[in-house]
Amino acid sequence: RSNAVFFSFSLEFLYLGGNFITSIPPELANLPSLSYLVLSDNKIQSIPPQLAQLHSLRSLSLHNNLLTYLPREILNLVHLEELSLRGNPLVVRFVRDLTYNPPSLLELAGRTMKTRNIPYAPSDLPGNLVRYLSLASNCPNPKCGGVYFDSCVRQIKFVDFCGKYRLPLMHYLCSPECSSPCSSASQSSTSQSESDSEDEAIVAAHRMQKVLLG
């Protein structure tokens, strides 16, 4: 077992191409030394956001899969120098997926506790509720300040990489109001969110040296 642990911590190159893989196990994020990851020529449809924890990753080969978007967390791969995406059905126009399941009563209560900063101690609540509250995700819309747990709006946005390519990244918003221009306030929030995404991409562009789409 100690040898397996050492192997996982020291592994730098992992080739999983051409294996008919349909999904990427999030456990790959537990390889802290991984620098080169090849997942090309598979049947992968989505990238787990946990891969953003591969802080040593320099090259990510995802060509010839079934990807239509990338998680926005990929911008956190600070050492990534090469990203290969050719041969994927990446969306070619701005797409919004507003499929939304209303939050449960449990989630509404959890959102209220988080957004209003209601204090509580682990001894005040059952263990399963304490764990649930720890899973809250912040809405990326800076004008919102909300959180979500299981119920969220998926939205695909294009951001610039290297000033040449626009890649579709997946955003998760806490409610449709954060993405629909139903009022001037929400429209301003959406515009600001898009601007922030562009700023993130500009920063990432300084790190990305190659984005291979063709």
Low-confidence spans in the chain with pLDDT less than 70: 1-8, 91-100, 158-166, 179-214
Q: What is the pLDDT of residue 50?
A: 92
Best CA proximity match to 54, nearest among 80, 22, 88: 80
Query: Domain-by-domain residue ranges, the chain?
Result: 1-101+206-213, 102-175
Does the predicted TM-score (pTM) go above 0.75?
no
Record: fold of 1-101+206-213: 3.80.10
d(CA 28, CA 14): 10
